[in-house]
Amino acid sequence: MTWAVNEPAGEKADAGIVMGNADSSPPNVARIYDYYLGGTNNYPQDREAARKVLGTVPDVPLAALENREFLRRAIRYLTEEAGIRQFLDIGPGLPTQGNVHQLARQHNADARVVYVDNDPAVIGRAQSLLHGLDGVTIVKGDLRQPERIIANPQLREPIDFSHPVALCMSLVLHFLTNAEDPYSVVTLLREVLCPGSYS
């Protein structure tokens, strides 16, 4: 199957590409993923890298879209059927195209969401995208240091671990090596969750 990704076009796209100015940074996986989802928060170098990937693995955008469909179904279940009101999303990428806070608040306007990422490009852009949204924030954290994530006061202000939390780690664990022990990372993160939580 061959997959075509639409190019951002005109002033609208340029305005959306990480605040408009040209950027000389290397391609960024979060911006490439945004591109595969049809977003405009990416640079020419991200689109060029994405096209190179498509030359080898043409179904990558389909996988990205399928992942978003899974996320949509999971968040609907968690909010409507499980009654979850708190979400901790580690390694979210850019919160632009159907991310957890947008999906959760379709079903519960009071849902609280904390994103955790270690990518400065993601954090900087997400802070501007999420500015002014009560109960939704992004904090700096590295999945390889789960104890620091859990102890972060910026995370613990909106998230109350004495109540059920949905822990989301969609498309991030494969970035950890065996030496970084992803099993222990997940175990430590799950230990802080009270009964009734989901991970």
Residue-wise pLDDT for 143-199, tens only, equals 999 999 999 999 999 999 999 999 999 888 988 999 999 999 999 999 999 999 999
The vertex-88 CA angle with 183 and 122, nearest 5°, equals 95
> What separation, in Å, do the N-terminal and C-terminal C-alpha atoms of the chain show?
33
Mean pLDDT, range 33-60, rounded to an integer: 90
- Look at 16 and 51; give whichever has higher pLDDT: 51
Query: Could you tell me the pLDDT band of residue 18, with boundaries at 50, 70 and 90?
Result: very low
Query: Could you tell me the pLDDT band of residue 101, with boundaries at 50, 70 and 90?
Result: very high
**Could you give the domains of the chain?**
10-60 (no CATH), 70-191 (3.40.50.150)
Residue 83: the pLDDT is 97
Whole-prediction pTM: 0.79
How far apart are the C-alpha atoms of 36 and 30, rounded to whole Å?
10
How far apart are the C-alpha atoms of 159 and 154, rounded to whole Å?
9
User: What average pLDDT does the structure give for the chain?
Assistant: 86
Query: Could you tell me the pLDDT band of residue 110, with boundaries at 50, 70 and 90?
Result: very high
Give the largest CA-CA distance in the chain.
50
For every residue of the chain, DSSP letters joined together read -----PPP-HHHHHHHSTTSS---SPP-HHHHHHHHTT-S---HHHHHHHHHHHHH-TTHHHHHHHHHHHHHHHHHIIIIIS---EEEEES---TTSS-HHHHHHHH-TT-EEEEEE--HHHHHHHHHHHTT-TTEEEEE--TT-HHHHHH-HHHHTT--TTS--EEE-TTTGGGS-GGG-HHHHHHHHHHTPPTT-B-
CA distances from 3 to 45, 146, 182, 193 (A): 19, 37, 32, 40
Query: Could you tell me the pLDDT band of residue 23, with boundaries at 50, 70 and 90?
Result: low
CB of 199 closer than 8 Å to CB of 189: yes
